[in-house]
A = this chain, B = another copy of it.
């Protein structure tokens, strides 16, 4: 009998959907340490970027750059971190993460050792930023 493996990015949205088309979706991740953390998730169960055709790769990366642009515009991070791992969930997805010099793991990647205590979160300001980030992302897709 074949191996039956369920995939959480096939079964679930993987976050709060900001934009979705036939090929991929952009979602917001609910992580209080990283407000504005987005993922761009390919809809089909594909493992690596080089499993996509060139036009597919281009369209996915254009989405990643739009999310990066929107994050820079709205969240004004000190750095943007971008990564595609998929070791646990081998279903193509990009992490796009606004990073700040005082965030919990800086200057480590967010998967590394913690370096700082969590900053106090201004919930109201944060909610407004996330709303603006959604708009800034959507504006870019709408203009395409």
A-to-B contact residues, CB < 8 Å: 47-50, 57-58, 61, 65, 68-69, 72, 79-88, 90, 99, 106-109, 111-112
Q: How far is the CA of A87 from the CA of B112 in the complex (A)?
A: 12
Query: Closest residue to A101 on the B side, CB-wise?
Result: B87
Query: Closest residue to A48 on the B side, CB-wise?
Result: B80
Query: Closest residue to A94 on the B side, CB-wise?
Result: B82
Q: How far is the CA of A72 from the CA of B49 in the complex (A)?
A: 11
Offer 24 A-B interface pairs, CB within 8 angstroms, sorted by A: A47-B79, A49-B65, A49-B80, A50-B65, A50-B72, A57-B61, A57-B65, A79-B85, A79-B86, A79-B90, A81-B85, A82-B83, A82-B85, A83-B84, A83-B85, A83-B109, A87-B106, A87-B108, A88-B107, A109-B109, A109-B111, A111-B111, A111-B112, A112-B112
Q: A81 contacts which chain B residues (CB < 8 A)?
A: 83-87
In addition to A47-B79, A109-B109, A111-B111, 6 A-B residue pairs with Cβ atoms within 8 Å of each other are A48-B68, A48-B80, A49-B68, A49-B82, A81-B83, A83-B83
Q: A85 contacts which chain B residues (CB < 8 A)?
A: 79, 81-83, 109
